[in-house]
Chain A
Amino acid sequence: MNLSPAEQERYSRQLGAGVLSEEAQLNLRRSTALVTRVGGMGGPAALMLTMAGVGRVIIAHGGDLISPDLNRQVLGSEAVIDRPRAPHFADYLRSMNRFVEVDYVDHEPSDSEALELACKSNIVLSCPPTFEERLRLNRAATKAGVPLIDAAQWGMTGTMMVVRAGLTACLQCVYPQPPPFEEFFPVVGAISSAIGSLAALEAIKILSGTGNPLFGKMLTYDGFQGRVTTMELTRTEACPCCGGL
């Protein structure tokens, strides 16, 4: 099936040489992306996936929006303060692209829910605040056999890694023990959006079959010092998550 004239018009600025072919755009339309959660990084990531034309975007995020979220959570607004994030964020995403189906889960998925969601998806974007949740999504993506993109931030810095379990290091290879959790971490929204958008770009490349994804690498963006680096990640043979693959 081809793109409709309305879809061709919508995506005209991203179709062509050096960006997406029509077949690549169709690949996006056939794809489902799971983004959890959709705060500072997951919000911009989900927005960019929706605007790019990923056919189905599933977001997961619990709780109500609070005022301090609005330095970085681009799917929120003053009108959503004290209201549940997930349904309002989903409405906003739907308002941005009529060609995309947006579903939401109004809580953080459990182990079994994460696996079920990953099995319905072609890619998982991991953007939660705790390593426990990140490692859960990593296990789910590994079992489901789909790529995972992990986006993280602190202050004016961020990291992003792209995993294809069995072929590259997974998150648990890199973090054998969950590092400490810091609930009230400092962050400037500009780094959240930058890292979230880069995660979306990797997802768009992978789903559409365009360019060279950063599989097996961690991109580090040190906005404080003005430094960007790439780290080649090493698999752990005895990794409890991907060791047997």
Chain B
Amino acid sequence: MKIRVVTMGRHYHETEGLPEFLELQEAASLDDAIDRLGELLSPGASFPGSCLIAVSGKHVGTIASHSAVSLGDGDELMLLAPVAGG
């Protein structure tokens, strides 16, 4: 199956090399997808624990703490590194 990957937020330029679509095994979990994406980041880079996760528009927690989710073909996985600013 194939999911779409959207990254944004703080230091968004560091994830520009990630693919827009990710091929995964059938019934892959959210953690499988995060692990795969982590492997594709630059050496030494990782997603921050506070990074928000949404699956097809529904917020499911953070990298550090999220609910177990099974992904389906066509899902959109959004990873959002929190921003503040002022």
Contacts and interface: CB of A to CB of B under 8 A. Distances in A.
Contact of A129 (B48, B60, B78, B85): B85
A131 B8 contact: no
Interface stretch (A11-19, A50-58, A110-118, A154-162): A154-162
A154 B83 contact: yes
B57 A230 contact: yes
Given A218-B59, A229-B78, A231-B58, A129 B12 contact: no
Contacts of A155: 12-13
A59 B66 CA distance: 36
Interface in A176-200: 176-177, 179-182, 185, 187, 192
A71 interface: no
A152 B85 contact: yes
A179 B48 contact: yes
A217 to B, nearest CB: 9
B84 interface: yes
Contacts of B78: 220, 229, 231
Interface residues of B, number: 28
A153 B85 contact: yes
Given A227-B8, A233-B59, A39 B82 contact: no
B84 A220 contact: no
Contacts of A192: 85
B5 interface: no
A23 interface: no
Nearest to A156: B12
Contact of B62 (A154, A169, A176, A218): A176
Given A157-B12, A229-B78, A37 B86 contact: yes
A234 interface: yes
Given A129-B85, A129-B86, A154 B80 contact: no
Given A218-B59, A229-B78, A231-B78, A157 B86 contact: no
B52 interface: yes
B85 A40 contact: yes
Nearest to A131: B84
A177 B50 contact: yes
B46 interface: no
B86 A159 contact: no
B19 interface: no
Contacts of A227: 6, 8
B85 A220 contact: no
Interface of B: 6, 8-13, 48-50, 52, 54, 57-62, 64-65, 78, 80-86
The 10 closest A-B pairs by CB, nearest first: A129-B86, A153-B85, A154-B83, A179-B50, A179-B82, A152-B83, A231-B54, A222-B8, A39-B86, A233-B59
Given A41-B86, A180-B50, A234-B59, 8 more contacts: A154-B85, A159-B80, A174-B59, A176-B65, A182-B84, A220-B80, A224-B12, A229-B6
Interface of A: 37, 39-42, 127-131, 134, 152-155, 157-159, 169, 174-177, 179-182, 185, 187, 192, 218, 220, 222, 224-225, 227, 229-234
